[in-house]
Chains A and B, each alone.
Chain A
Amino acid sequence: AQTVTQSQPEMSVQEAETVTLSCTYDTSENNYYLFWYKQPPSRQMILVIRQEAYKQQNATENRFSVNFQKAAKSFSLKISDSQLGDTAMYFCAFMKRNTGNQFYFGTGTSLTVIP
């Protein structure tokens, strides 16, 4: 079974600073995707960024980037120039390819951006 671990239940960062959220996963699969989802107080789950395991290049989306270390099974999210609107729960997720899109989520990291 796949497991996703987020070891930081809570984090905080000053506005405009950079913060990194950690995620590790355990799998015997070689073909998979990794995602970061954001859940603000509004409760909606919003996709932040995705990474295909077969790609060595780290994904980036504006201020959001990942550090994907396949051998170490690590997938951290870096948020640059943090904004107040980044305050949310962040979930790391793992998806096996071609298996009915089964997703496995971590327990989440609560990020607070301090003005």
Chain B
Amino acid sequence: DAGVIQSPRHEVTEMGQEVTLRCKPISGHNSLFWYRQTMMRGLELLIYFNNNVPIDDSGMPEDRFSAKMPNASFSTLKIQPSEPRDSAVYFCASSTFPVDSPLHFGNGTRLTVT
């Protein structure tokens, strides 16, 4: 079990640039979650997918954020254009549904927008 794999581990970009964060969930998991972690707001759920379908994206802060899950083994979170206030750690997590299971987190991507 390789766990949830996120890339890159760190990303530094300039304001206005496009940023793409990537996630590979645990094989066999059919739920995928994107979280954002900041000191001020803690862990915020941005969006989650069940069976590759977005179920709830109410946490996505604005239209600059978009997420896709083209297949069961890959998801992206894109920010375009990026802003300094987007600086945070972005976590991807996966689990199984409807079988109750805890979230398994990736190591996160630390995004810095200058």
A interface with B by C-beta (< 8 Å): 33, 35, 37, 42-47, 50, 91, 93, 95, 97-98, 100-103, 105-108
The verdict on B34 contacting chain A, using a C-beta distance below 8 Å, is no
From A98, A101, A107, contact of B103 by CB (8 A): A101
From A46, A50, A91, A98, contact of B43 by CB (8 A): A91
Chain B residue nearest in CB terms to A43: B108
From B48, B103, B104, B105, contact of A100 by CB (8 A): B48
Contact A107 B42 (CB under 8 A): yes
Q: Hey, which chain A residues are within 8 Å of B26, CB to CB?
A: none
Complex alpha-carbon distance, A101 and B103, angstroms: 9
Complex alpha-carbon distance, A102 and B102, angstroms: 10
Q: Mark B74-114, 1 if CB is under 8 A from A, else 0.
A: 00000000000000010101011110111111011010000
Contact A105 B43 (CB under 8 A): yes
Contact A108 B98 (CB under 8 A): no
Complex alpha-carbon distance, A105 and B41, angstroms: 11
Q: Hey, which chain B residues are within 8 Å of A35, CB to CB?
A: 102
Contact A45 B91 (CB under 8 A): yes
- Report the minimum CB–CB distance from A18 to chain B (whole Å): 25
Contact A105 B98 (CB under 8 A): no
Q: Hey, which chain A residues are within 8 Å of B105, CB to CB?
A: 37, 44-46
Contact A100 B108 (CB under 8 A): no
Contact A44 B102 (CB under 8 A): no
Complex alpha-carbon distance, A13 and B40, angstroms: 25
Q: Hey, which chain B residues are within 8 Å of A101, CB to CB?
A: 31, 48, 95-97, 100-101, 103
Across the A-B interface, give the 3 residue pairs with the lowest CB-CB distance, nearest first: A45-B105, A105-B43, A107-B42
Complex alpha-carbon distance, A44 and B6, angstroms: 11
- Report the minimum CB–CB distance from B102 to chain A (whole Å): 5
Contact B89 A50 (CB under 8 A): no
Complex alpha-carbon distance, A103 and B45, angstroms: 8
Q: Hey, which chain B residues are within 8 Å of A47, CB to CB?
A: 102-104
- Report the minimum CB–CB distance from A93 to chain B (whole Å): 8
